[in-house]
Structure 1
Amino acid sequence: MTRKKVLRHKAIIDELGSSPSMRVGELSVVLGVTKETIRRDLEELSEQNVISRTYGGAVLRQPSEAVLSERHKEKREERSAMAKVAVPLLKGAKTIMIGSGATTVHVAKRIAFEMNNITVITHSFGVATVLSLNPTIKVIMAPGEYYASEGAVHGAQAVRFLSELSADWAILGASGITSTGPSDALMEAADVYRSMIAQSECCMITADHTKFDRQAIAQFSHWSDIDFLITDKVPSEPLRKQLVAESVDIKLTTP
């Protein structure tokens, strides 16, 4: 590899480090080379597992998230506190869609103790299990391909099933939170989340501060489609400004 290419690859990585995702045209302008050159560079960096290609651009590759069973052992107090903030917002809801994840299971557990006579639609076995503590809650499981690492089902069948239903709320977690929107480390999960958002009147994202300014591989929404972000710390100023501009209500566990 020539020194010029090495320097160009480093420059691309530096650009993606400061801007979580960039398009080919933007990188071409910034680095002063053709789009064809940028595309070849991105393919090489992708083969080295340094970046992940997106439609028309690239993002830095993030370390894979730990499997759900491991994530459940972390940040229990923070997740419990977020659930305490989230559930009062659901007052009056009759039908709720809940995505998979460690934090959403905590929210579901609090729903089981504080809400009655509602219907919950989910693709997460963990969510369904904790809701079973309350016999007045009707749980509807989406069908699909089972992913053991997440304890949830995904795939076209799940998406199609959800597209035929509607809900008052969607409650979702996220692997990454950037100014462009929430994202997930699993593309199949992102497909399910898009469907839940599309079929719900309101949507909240529950994510702790370690997800801030981190871009996962699959963005599943723009902030214009999200009503609340439930979190444990104030986001960085650029991120906070974007959330405010998009009318996202930030709810903190500690004011």
Structure 2
Amino acid sequence: MSRKKTTRHKAIIDQLSVNPSMRVSELSDALGVTTETIRRDLEELAAQQLINRTYGGALLRQPAEPVLSERHKANVEERAMIGKAAAPLLKGARILMMGSGATTVQVAKRIAFEMNNITVVTHSFGVATALSLNPTIEVVLAPGVYHAGEGAVHGAQTLRFLSDYSVDWAILGASGISPAGPTDALMDAAEVYACMLRQSSRHMIVADHSKFDRMATARFSQWQDIDVLVTDIAPQGPLGQALASGGVDIQLAG
């Protein structure tokens, strides 16, 4: 690879680090090269798995997600606010499904505080522990293969178990929130989330703004299949447009 191309590739990554979702024309203007050159560069960067190509542009690829114990330390205030905003939206529900993650644990804490006499089906030990603070909540823990880093179970046994339930709401987190839909860094987790969505009447994603314009390994839904996104900052640009086109209700915490 020529030095000029290497420098240009680094400049593209730098641009996407500041603005995670950019169109070809924007990158062309920023770097002072033709759109054809940018398209070739993006294809090469995508082949190296450094970015994800989108229609007319690119997204910076989400790096491997930290284990759950580390994620609990980040954006704590934002996640707590999201939990506080999400729980009242579930009023009237009797049966829920909840995915794993630091944000869903915050939602579970608020559910334990605000709701009574409900059933929650989950594959997450952290969610189950948070809900156990309320003795009127029946927690149904799915079986499966334990993933220590995520504190949750996955696999075929988990999917078969979840498929036996029909619930009012699925409440899920995400590793990445992209215009194409919510994504997760773990393919096994994404399969569980997709199953939970199929078994529920209404669908909620809870994620803070640090997940915006990030594409993780596996997409588990399209936005047209999501009812509500609870977050801390209103999404803008292509992501905001995709959410609007999908008819997603944006609920802002705080």
User: Normalising to structure 1: TM-score of the pair?
Assistant: 0.81
Q: Report deviation, 1:67.
A: 0.7
Match of 2:32 in 1: none
Aligned partner of 1:152 in structure 2 is 152
- Report 1:20-35 matches (<5 A): none
Alpha-carbon distance between aligned partners in 2 of 1:175 and 1:237, rounded to the nearest angstrom: 19
User: 2:209 touches 2:233 (CA, 8 Å); kept in 1?
Assistant: yes
Equivalent in the alignment of 1:114: 114
Further displaced range: 233-242 or 182-191: 233-242
Q: 1:133–1:198: structure 2 CA closer, same or farther, 3 Å change rule?
A: same
Q: Distance in 2 between matches of 1:107 and 1:94?
A: 16
Partner in structure 1 of residue 196 of structure 2: 196
Please name the residue that 2:63 is paired with: 63
Structure 1: runs of 5+ lacking an equivalent: 20-29, 33-37
Q: Spell out, residue by residue over 1:65-87, the C-alpha distance to the aligned partner (whole angstroms, 9 max, x if none).
A: 11100111121111111111101
Code of the aligned partner of 2:73 = K
Shift in CA distance, 148/52, structure 1 to aligned 2, threshold 3 Å: farther
Report the alpha carbon displacement of residue 45 of structure 1 after superposing the two structures with TM.
2.2
For 1:106 and 1:164, the matched residues in 2 are separated by: 26
SS in 2 for 1:18: strand
Partner of 1:176: 176
Contact 1:52–1:217 under 8 Å retained in 2: no
SS in 1 for 2:88: helix
SS of structure 1 residue aligned to 2:113:
helix
Distance 1:233 1:17, change over 3 A: closer
SS in 1 for 2:196: helix
Percent identity of equivalent pairs: 62
Contact map agreement 1:59 1:217 (CA 8 A) in 2? no
Amino acid paired to 1:221: S
Letter in 2 for 1:244: A
- Pairing partner for 1:18 from 16, 22, 37: 22
How many Å apart are 1:241 and its aligned residue? 2.2
Partners of 1:147 and 1:153 within 8 A in 2: yes
- Per-residue Cα deviation, 1:84-119 (whole angstroms, up to 9, x for no partner): 110111111000000000000010011111111100
Secondary structure at 2:48 match in 1: helix
> Is it true that 1:45 corresponds to 2:42 in the alignment?
no
TM-score normalised by length of structure 2: 0.81
Give the Cα–Cα distance (whole angstroms) in 1 for the partners of residues 243 and 21 of structure 2: 21
Partner of 1:92: 92
Give the AA of the match of 2:208. D
- Matched residue SS, 1:136: coil
The one-letter code sitting in structure 1 at the alignment partner of 2:216 is: A
CA offset at residue 140 of structure 1? Answer: 0.6
Rounded Cα–Cα distance in structure 2 between residues aligned with 1:171 and 1:202? 9
What whole-Å deviation, never above 9, does each CA across 1:190-232 have from its counterpart, x for those lacking one? 0000000010000110000111111111110001110000000
CA distance change for structure 1 residues 136 and 217 in 2, over 3 Å: closer, same or farther? same
Contact 1:9 1:45 in 2 (8 A): no
Runs of at least 5 residues in structure 2 that lack an aligned partner in the other structure: 24-34
Asked if the contact 2:60–2:214 (Cα under 8 Å) also holds between the matched residues in 1, the reply is no
Conserved 8 A contact 1:98-1:170: yes
Residues 135 and 223 of structure 1: CA distance in aligned 2, closer, same or farther (over 3 Å): same
Letter in 2 for 1:198: R
Query: Mapping of 1:127-166 within 5 angstroms?
Result: 127-166=127-166
Alpha-carbon distance between aligned partners in 1 of 2:136 and 2:151, rounded to the nearest angstrom: 24
Alignment-mate amino acid for residue 109 of structure 2? K
Q: Deviations over 1:14-70 (max 9, x none)?
A: 999636xxxxxxxxxx869xxxxx99x689625xxx3589xxxx9754211111001
State the one-letter code of the partner of 1:85: A
